[in-house]
Amino acid sequence: MTAGLLTALIVECPAAEPVVGRHRRRLDRAAALGVPAHVTVVFPFVPLRDLTERDHDHLDALFSAVPPFELVGARTGWFGDTALYVEPADPRPLVALVDLVVAAFPQAPPYGGAFPEVVPHLTIGHDHPRAELRAAEREVGPLLPVRQPVECVDLWSGPAPESGVGRWQRVRRYPFAAPGSTGAGPGSGRLDARSGDAAGQAGRRVGPPQGLDDRPQRTLDLG
């Protein structure tokens, strides 16, 4: 059944699991819903019941023009004092992915359009006592950086987090361009033409509403 199921486009980060996994299981609600360590591209995306094969073909075409890149989780960061995350050393390729999707699906802006800019991040925890989040930060920090080859974007779907039932699961994978091919992607030409301003400002802490995480500063991000 797809009625009522939400979706998110994410970059999965399995390389980060040994570093953040056990902390996410305690501190990040998205982990309890089955969502792996990740950086959100767009959440909420088009509801699952409204996605057509034509939409999937469009996403396939968009992402197949993106060359693979490396994501480096360099340091920890905070949204206010309620959300702890791993910050990418270079957010520009991720911001470019966001801009690519928004240009193609303007009806699904990140975080429902609540923020003019998106800060790419990998959530460690949120909405727990600050002392617990700080303790997690002290353990994670010395284990950074983590390096993750990024070769695709994944579509995940599940029930509204506040429902308290069900789990999220991967629905589809959209591969990037084959290594060595010439794609117009993050850090090159077509994508950066749109993303330059946002990418240049990405270091500013304009946090997305906490995704599947229900944080007071809300990063509606699945993580």
* 185: CATH: 3.90.1140.10
- Three-class DSSP category at 65: coil
Q: Which residue type sits at 90?
A: D
Digitized pLDDT (tens) for each residue of the chain, 223 residues in all = 566 899 999 999 999 999 999 999 999 989 989 999 999 999 999 999 999 999 999 999 999 999 999 999 999 999 999 999 999 999 999 999 999 999 999 999 998 888 778 899 999 999 999 999 999 999 999 999 999 999 999 999 998 866 767 899 999 999 999 877 655 544 332 333 223 332 333 333 334 434 333 333 333 445 5
Residue carrying structure tokens 């509204």: 160
Residue 66 counted as domain residue = yes
Q: Which of the 8 DSSP states describes residue 206?
A: -
Q: What is the pTM of this model?
A: 0.82
Tokens of 174: 């959209």
Domain residues for the domain of 132 are 6-200
Residue 222 counted as domain residue = no
Residue 28 counted as domain residue = yes
Residue 223 counted as domain residue = no
